[in-house]
Amino acid sequence: MLNYTLRRLGIAIPTLFVIVTAAFFLMRAAPGGPFDAEADLEPEVLENIRAAYDLDKPLLTQYWLFLSRAVRGNFGPSLVYKDFTVTELIAIGLPVSITLGLLAKLVALLLGGLGGIIAALRQNSLLDHTLMGLAMTGIALPAFVSAPILALFFGLYLKLLPVAGWNDGALPNLVLPVVALALPQIAVIARLMRGGMLEVLRSNFVRTARSRGLKESTVVFRHVLPSALVPLVGYLGPALAGIMTGSLIVELIFNLPGVGRYFVQGALNRDYPLVMGVVIIYATFIILFNLLSDLAYAALDPRVRKSYR
């Protein structure tokens, strides 16, 4: 297991480096600059501002300066939010994004897992077809489509829930964004759980357990469910990372003070340090969640560990 973990870490670190490098040069290649709106500034003043942020230096020099600071956790000052450093903005917004992501994943696991189990145990019934039809609808509706629909129906028409604002994480303000983030994941988890359950239910060891006279609930929860969870575990890491990155648009739609809103505003205003800081944070989360998912998968399936010996 240690050898497998070290190999996965050996892949994760270069991957993060490639992502950061690509984001840096792509951001600089985009047209416009952070101070283009300052049209009334004298050219000398504008040059002094650019020099203060090292934007007057060659691109490779800027890249080296950024890397040398980033490895120490210093992403520099924001070019738009002038009273804050990038680290301070991330510290403000990251708890909001993490809260949304974890709640959405919890909701998706509970509802999607339960729906998949019920559909598998009632295979080819009306309930099975209904649940899988709803799952297909959920997959076809991304968060940036379902979020405005939820806000319009439950917020404006029925006036049951607020359509914007954080309000210190109050439950009514969390419901709509969490549901919007969770809906596609509920659908995918339900289909994965159903497929895993059906495959295990046809296994020989399940037939043997039933022939021994075990209760159906014992067969399902003790023998079927642990094996059916293996494909789902491999999906959870990328899914959690996807929810975190998918919250970018949802935070903007519901006006939540998460990292996603800062990222969008930073990209629009060419706030290079802010965008790069958020990219590093999100890339780290994505790689970390995928690493944890791989380790959990290897712990459940010995064949994965043996392939790395």
Q: Is residue 115 part of a domain?
A: yes
Q: Is residue 19 part of a domain?
A: no
Please give the single-letter amino acid code of residue 228.
A
For helices 86-121 and 225-253, the axis angle rounded to 10 degrees is 140
The answer to whether the CB of 181 falls within 8 A of the CB of 109 is no
Residue 131 clears pLDDT 80, i.e. is over it: yes
Q: Is residue 139 part of a domain?
A: yes
Q: What is the dihedral of CA 116, 119, 124, 127, to 10 degrees?
A: -130
Q: For position 298, which CATH number holds?
A: 1.10.3720.10
Q: Is residue 42 part of a domain?
A: no
Tell me the average pLDDT of the chain. Answer: 81
Maximum separation of any 2 CA atoms in the chain, in Å: 87
- The pLDDT tens digits of the residues spanning 218-268 come to 777 777 877 777 777 777 777 776 666 667 788 888 888 888 888 888 888
Residue 309 clears pLDDT 60, i.e. is over it: no
Q: Is residue 26 part of a domain?
A: no
Q: Is residue 71 part of a domain?
A: no
**For residue 295, what pLDDT band results from cuts at 50, 70 and 90?**
confident
Find the range with the poorest average confidence among 58-67, 79-88, 174-183, 297-306: 297-306
The answer to whether the CB of 150 falls within 8 A of the CB of 143 is no
Q: The domain containing residue 185 runs over which residues?
A: 93-264+286-306
Q: Nearest Cα to 34, choosing from 271, 283, 293, 303?
A: 271
Structurally, the chain folds into a number of domains equal to 1
Residue 305 clears pLDDT 70, i.e. is over it: no
Q: Nearest Cα to 247, choosing from 169, 165, 142?
A: 142
Cα(4)–Cα(21) distance, integer angstroms? 27
Q: Is residue 5 part of a domain?
A: no
- The pLDDT tens digits of the residues spanning 67-94 come to 888 888 888 888 888 788 898 988 888 8
> The pTM is what?
0.79
Q: Is residue 74 part of a domain?
A: no
Percent of the chain with pLDDT over 90: 6
